[in-house]
Amino acid sequence: MAETSETIETNRGSHRRGLMKTVGLGLAGTALAAAGTAGLGFGTTPARADATLDGEILNFALNLEYLEAEYYLRAVTGSGIPANLTGGAATVTGGSLVPFQNTAIAYLAQKIAVDELAHVNFLRTALGASAVAEPNIDLSDSFTTLALAAGLIIPGQTFNPFASETDFLIGAYIFEDVGVTAYAGAAASLTPATLPYAASILAVEAYHAGAIRSRLGEIGGSAATNMISALRQTLSGVGDNGVNYQSNMFNFTNVDSNGQAYRRTPQQVLSIVYGGGTANGLFFPNGMNGAVTTTA
C-alpha cells in the first residue's frame, strides 16, 4: 500500500524533530524443539472441576496462534506452517516474502516467526488429541477490508502488508495487541495448572507488541496505529491506544490508566478478527475451530 508507506516516510522527519524539542533465520528446527509437556500440568487429572474450560480457552488461543504464525512465517520464509503442525488441510490465502531493507526489522520478524511457530507447537502438544485443526485463513482481502474500515486507504485502493517492511509492521500491529488482550482476558478463567503457561505466552506476545510499536514510532507510523486502534476499540468496545497517545509519539504499551493491559473476552476478540461478523469473516472466512467460535 504505497499511500500508507509514503505517509509514514513523510512523518518520520517531523517526529524526529519533535523528539529533539521535547527531550540468518534460524527457523529450521528451532521452534520444533519446544520443550515437552512432562510436568507442565496438562495431565489427565484436572486441577479443578472446570479444567475442561482450559482446553476450550487454549484451543481458542491456538486459532490466533495459527493466524500469527502464518503471517510471520510467510513474511520471512515465503511458506506457512509445516503441514504436520496444522492438523488438517486448511486453505491460507495471501502472504509472501517481505522485501526487508532494514536489518533490525528483518531480524525482529524472524524472531517473532520462531516464537509464533513455537506457540503453535506448544499448544498442540499440550492439547494433544483435542487440539483443533488450523482453520481457513485469509491474509489477502482481509487486510484491504480492515484498512478501508480504519481509514488507512480509500475505496479502490488495496493494502498488502507483505509489499514493504513498513506495511508489514502495520499488519503486525493489528495482531499483537489483540493477542495480548485475549490472553489477559482469559487468565481469570484458567486453572492454576494452566495459568502459568498461558501467562508465559502472554508475556512473549507483549514483548512482540512492544517491539512492533517501537519500530512504528521510530518511522512515523503513529497516525496509522491510531486509526487501527480506534477501529479495534469500536469493534470490541474495549479501550485501545495507538502509538501516538497522550502526546507520546513512541507509546510502546497499550494499557489503561492503571498501567494494566486491556483485557478482552473471546467474543470481543472475535468481533475484531471477524471484522464485526458474528460467526466468521475477515481473517477467518469460515470462522474459527473449537468450542468458542461466535460472538453470541
Residue 52: predicted pLDDT: 85
Residue 130: predicted pLDDT: 96
Crossing angle of the two packed helices 141-150 and 165-186, in degrees rounded to 10: 80
pTM equals 0.83
Residue 3: predicted pLDDT: 46
Residue 87: predicted pLDDT: 95
Instruction: Identify residue 30 by its one-letter amino acid code.
Output: T
Residue 262: predicted pLDDT: 80
Compute mean pLDDT per 10 residues along the chain, 296 residues long, and list them. Answer: 46 36 30 33 40 92 98 98 95 98 96 98 97 98 96 97 96 92 93 94 94 87 87 90 67 71 92 96 98 95
Residue 4: predicted pLDDT: 56
Residues with Cβ within 8 Å of residue 220, at least 6 apart in sequence: 8, 9, 10, 11, 12, 13, 14, 15
Convert 236-272 into a string of H (helix), E (strand) and C (coil): HCCCCCCCCECCECCCCCCECCCCCECCCCHHHHHHH
Question: At 13, which helix (H) or strand (E)?
Answer: helix 2-22
Look at the block and give the residue holding cell 474500515.
149
